[in-house]
């Protein structure tokens, strides 16, 4: 199964995927940003712009397609919106659909926790934001995914029970709903 895990930057996707793969070594955990970097492309907040974000998607599609051909089970950390110094850059529908995901989940982290995570994580430069902007961007991101993947459910995961919800998604197809 090929699962896309979406969420805002700082929501905890990387952590959730690492913990999930520890419990499920038959899954390969991936990051869209890492695949783009492997192709020699820029993903740095301070230097990336909307044009580069759009260009990077062809590299992502190519790299992920190669991995899918060799790997039965993947869980990939994705963004449907990338925050740049120019503002929000939305990933086009055809790009996301071309990844051929079989399940889509969104890590629905409370906006206050996203902001706290961003302050704590010094490994990445991220945009300045506030509670209202973060909450609104997360709402828009979820709506966007529901429109793009209208043929199946978008599962909202919580940080506390995300691994259990992913397991339910994989094995029964219906994870418990996040609040």
Provide the residue ranges of all domains of the chain, joining segments of one domain with +.
2-171
pLDDT digits (tens, 9 = 90+) for 69-90: 999 999 999 999 998 888 899 9
For residue 139, give both structure tokens: 């709402």
Q: What is the pLDDT of residue 173?
A: 65
What is the pTM (predicted TM-score) of this model?
A: 0.90
Q: 150-153: long-range contacts at Cβ-Cβ below 8 A with a sequence spacing of 24 or more?
A: 152/103, 152/104
pLDDT digits (tens, 9 = 90+) for 3-47: 999 999 999 999 999 999 999 999 999 999 999 999 888 888 878
Q: What is the pLDDT of residue 98?
A: 96
Which fold would CATH assign to domain 2-171? Rossmann fold (3.40.50)
Place of tokens 């793969």: 21
Cα distance between residue 10 and residue 29, in whole Å:
17
Q: Name the pLDDT band for 174 (thresholds 50, 70, 90).
A: low
Tell me what the mean pLDDT of segment 93-101 comes to: 96
For residue 44, give both structure tokens: 């740095």
Kindly report the average pLDDT of the chain as a whole number: 90
């Amino acid at each position: 199964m090929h699962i896309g895990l979406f969420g805002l930057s700082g929501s905890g996707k990387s952590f959730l995927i690492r913990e999930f793969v520890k419990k499920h070594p038959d899954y390969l955990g991936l990051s869209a940003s890492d695949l783009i970097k492997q192709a020699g492309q820029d993903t740095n907040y301070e230097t990336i712009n909307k044009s580069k974000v759009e260009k990077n998607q062809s590299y992502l599609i190519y790299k992920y397609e190669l991995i899918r051909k060799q790997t039965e089970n993947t869980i990939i950390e994705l963004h449907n919106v990338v925050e740049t110094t120019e503002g929000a850059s939305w990933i086009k529908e055809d790009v996301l659909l071309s990844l051929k995901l079989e399940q889509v989940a969104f890590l629905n982290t409370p906006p206050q926790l996203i902001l706290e995570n961003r302050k704590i994580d010094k490994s990445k430069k991220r945009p300045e934001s506030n509670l209202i902007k973060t909450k609104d961007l997360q709402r828009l991101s979820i709506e966007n995914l529901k429109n793009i993947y209208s043929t199946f459910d978008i599962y909202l995961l919580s940080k506390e029970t995300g691994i259990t919800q992913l397991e339910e998604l994989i094995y029964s197809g219906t994870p418990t709903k996040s609040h």
